[in-house]
Amino acid sequence: MQGKGHENDRPYYHHAYEAPSEEEERLGSLFHQLDMNGDGRIDVRDLSEGLKRLSLPQVPGAAELLIQRADVNKSNDLTLAEFVNYVQEHEKRLLLVFHTLDANSDGRVDEKELRSSFHRLGIDIDHDEAKRLLKRMDKDGTLDISFDEWRDYLLFHPSANLHDIIQYWRHATNLDIGEDLSVPDDFSLEEWLSGKWWRHLVAGGVAGMVSRTCTAPLDRLKVYLQVHGSKHSSLVSCFKYFLKEGGVRSLWRGNGINVLKIAPESAIKFAAYEQAKRMVLQFGGSKERELTIFERFVAGSFAGGISQSTIYPLEVLKTRLTLRKTGQYKNAVDAAKKIYKNEGLRSFYRGYIPNLLGIIPYAGIDLAIYETLKKTYIEHHAGDVNPSVFVITACGAMSSSCGQIASYPLALVRTRLQAQVIAPGVVHPVPVTMVGLFKHIFATEGIIGLYRGITPNFMKVAPAVSISYVVYEKCRQALGVSMT
């Protein structure tokens, strides 16, 4: 062995003079192939680069987790002895799982056995997905797998648990693009046990703050066109008006509240989503299974409704601050006081109904299209163990845009209702109800009127996704978690 190996690094030899077995030679050879710099130890960089060189599948973050679990002496790298001990124990666990899949005990697992085994665990996979999974592991083209094929494919996956393995195949991430109606992401068992879930939330929150701040001028443009689009139909004329009325700083009006509400909304949505998942699973009769797409939609819509109901006054405040003129309010607190004094408490929930109704088409279409796009990509790229970050973010941007198209008229009506200043005893020239406003907009502006401001809304998707991903990636690295 090269480098600084030690006698104690070879405990799998029964005696110093005894030749290694075929199994020991296999593991020793694998160790040396992964020891990229030949120093007799494997660290995270060695493992990541070695797996790439050997074309072995790996989960993002799995290298760090494997080193952490196998590192007995806490040196942040593995000796040969630590590596062999970990791999042998992991292979034993994989063998037990393989036996549960091999229903007829013939030493091979086919598509029917794979689907049946996952179904018993409450994890539903269809014929096409099961076939794709088998193709990834199948080396001899038989469309069934031996234990060696199963072991080699999952040898460097940090868990032998089937629930974690299915996360390996399916898990993706949601990035903040400035909309608050998306379905929250699921976290794996490992992320729960290690406490890494909150770090993902923090990283996502910071990414959302930076992303929203960078795209705030487009967001203000969207809100302004939603309310005053019949007066200023040109994007250029709106920007000129902003600069003339309040200078460059006016482009970021309302951004402070938009950023501040991320933390409480994310926390409430996350807590409500976890509670909703438990309720859905309990209602479905099995707590130990994965949610279906429809169940995720139901749980996500419930969580979105709870979070939006709780922080909705901040939504109204954000709209008023975004549309304010120079000198109208000193700050957010002053705005809240004046709105309450002049219009009463009910004004902070104006537009609440269309906002709540908008969650259903947005969350449903966003989730359905995202899963469809990802599934289509995987079907046409069977060799990809995990879709790239570019693919994931592109699917997310496309699905979110489709969700926005469906829910946009409700969002526009919500914004107009939020913007209406209605003092007690004053007759308002425009209807102040959701149905009345819909009829008024359609009658006076046509179908186009229900989609005013959607152009800048689409314009901010691409930069928001890019900025959100870059910041999220840097934050999660600083917090010591891997992108799931």
Confidence label for 395 from pLDDT (cuts 50, 70 and 90): confident
Widest distance between CA atoms in the chain: 99
In tens, the pLDDT along 288-336 reads 556 677 777 788 788 888 888 899 999 999 999 999 888 888 888 999 9
Statement: residue 366 has pLDDT above 50: yes
Question: 191-200, 356-365, 421-430: which has the highest mean pLDDT?
Answer: 356-365
For 271, half-sphere exposure in the C-beta direction (CA atoms, 13 angstrom radius) is 8
- For residue 164, give every residue at least 6 positions away whose Cβ sits within 8 Å of its Cβ, in sequence order, or none: 157, 158, 188, 189, 190
| CA 377/CA 381 separation, integer angstroms | 6
Tell me what the pLDDT averaged over the chain comes to.
78
Per-residue buried b or exposed e for 438-474, using 16+ beta carbons within 10 Å of the residue's own CB: bebbeeeeeeebbbbbbebbeebbeebbbbbbebbee
Confidence label for 348 from pLDDT (cuts 50, 70 and 90): very high
Higher-confidence residue: 270 or 258? 258
Question: Per the structure block, which two tokens stand in for 145?
Answer: 């797998």
Q: Are 219 and 178 in contact (CB under 8 A)?
A: yes
Domain ranges of the chain: 7-170, 189-479
pLDDT at 327 (0 to 100) = 84
Over residues 203-209, mean pLDDT? 83
Considering only the top CATH level, what class is 7-170? Answer: mainly alpha
Confidence label for 410 from pLDDT (cuts 50, 70 and 90): very high
Confidence label for 464 from pLDDT (cuts 50, 70 and 90): confident
> Which of 58-67, 143-152, 458-467 shows the lowest per-residue confidence on average (mean pLDDT)?
58-67
In tens, the pLDDT along 62-79 reads 677 788 888 888 898 999
| CA 395/CA 371 separation, integer angstroms | 8
- What is this structure's pTM? 0.61
**Distance, C-alpha 84 to centroid of its chain:** 35
pLDDT at 376 (0 to 100) = 78
Q: Are 437 and 413 in contact (CB under 8 A)?
A: yes
pLDDT at 462 (0 to 100) = 78
| CATH architecture assignment, domain 189-479 | Alpha/alpha barrel (1.50)
| CA 184/CA 303 separation, integer angstroms | 8
Contacts for 476-483: CB closer than 8 Å, 24+ residues apart: 476/199, 476/200, 476/203, 479/199, 479/202, 479/203, 480/199, 481/61, 481/191, 481/196, 481/199, 481/200, 481/203, 482/60, 482/61, 482/62, 482/64, 482/65, 483/60, 483/61, 483/173, 483/389
Statement: residue 214 has pLDDT above 90: yes
| CA 151/CA 57 separation, integer angstroms | 12
- For residue 188, give every residue at least 6 positions away whose Cβ sits within 8 Å of its Cβ, in sequence order, or none: 164, 167, 171, 484
Closest CA to 292 of 380, 186, 176: 186
Residue 108: phi and psi, rounded to 5, are: -140, 150
Rounded percentage of the chain residues whose pLDDT exceeds 70: 76
Over residues 2-25, mean pLDDT? 51
